[in-house]
Amino acid sequence: MSLDRFYPIFDHVDWLERLVPLGIKLVQLRIKDRSDTDIKAQIRRAKKICAAQDCTLIINDYWKIALDEGCAYVHLGQEDLDHADIAAIRTGGMALGLSTHDKAELARALALSPDYIALGPIYPTILKKMKWHEQGIDRLSTWRGLMGNTPLVAIGGMSIARAQGAFDAGADCVAAVTDITLNASPEDRVREWLAATR
C-alpha cells in the first residue's frame, strides 16, 4: 500500500469532515481520552467521510475497536505495541504503521514487518512531552538506510518549509498536526500542503 506524501493527523472527526474533502488522501484519526462509545462513533463517521473522498483512514492506538469496525489501517506507538495483538491485527487484514524514536525501537518495528515506520520528532514539537529531543533530518537518512523498502514517515514539528528537506533525506511521507490545526486558516494551509507535496 503506497502512502500519499502528505499525512495530516487530527484529534477529532470534525477535522476530517472539514478538511478531507479539500483533497487529503491519507489521514490519521488520533483520538485521546474519550469513551469507547464516542471513539466508535467518531471512527464510523471518519470511515464514511474517507470512503466518500477516496482517502486512506488510519486509526491511532485503538486497534480492537478499529478491527471491530472493519478499518483497513492502524497506527501504534511503542507503548501501544506492548498490549497489541499483532497476529489479530494481521489476521483481520489491517495494515500497520509504527512509531519509532531510537534504533532499539526501529529494530522492534522492523521485526514486525509494518506497512510504514514513522520517525520523530524530527523537529521540536509542542504536541506532546517526549523523552526524545529532536531527531533531526540526518536521522531520517540513517533510518532510510536501515529500513529497506518500508515507507518512512517524518513527524514532529513539520511544516511546508521543512517538508522538502525531509523528502530529500529519504522520507516518503510527511505528517503534520499543529501546522494545520493551529493555523489561522486550516483550509488554506491544507491547500498549501497539497500543492507542495503533489
Asked if 143 and 117 count as a contact pair (C-beta separation under 8 A), the reply is: yes
- Looking at residue 129, its pLDDT comes to 59
Asked if 172 and 152 count as a contact pair (C-beta separation under 8 A), the reply is yes
Asked whether 31 and 39 are in contact (CB, 8 A), the reply is: yes
**How does pLDDT run across 106-158, given as a tens digit for each residue?**
999 999 999 999 999 999 876 555 565 678 899 999 999 999 999 999 999 99
Bigger pLDDT: 40 vs 1: 40
Reading the block at residue 79, the C-alpha cell is 507503548
Nine-digit cell string for 103: 534504533
User: In terms of C-beta density within 10 A (0-12 exposed, 13-18 middle, 19 or more buried), how is residue 104 classed?
Assistant: exposed
Mean pLDDT of the chain: 94
- pLDDT at position 128: 56
Predicted local distance difference test score (pLDDT) of residue 157: 93
Angle at 39 between CA 35 and CA 43, to 5 degrees: 175
Residue 107: which H helix or E strand, with range?
A: helix 103-111
What domains appear along the chain, each with residue ranges and CATH number? Answer: 6-197 (3.20.20.70)
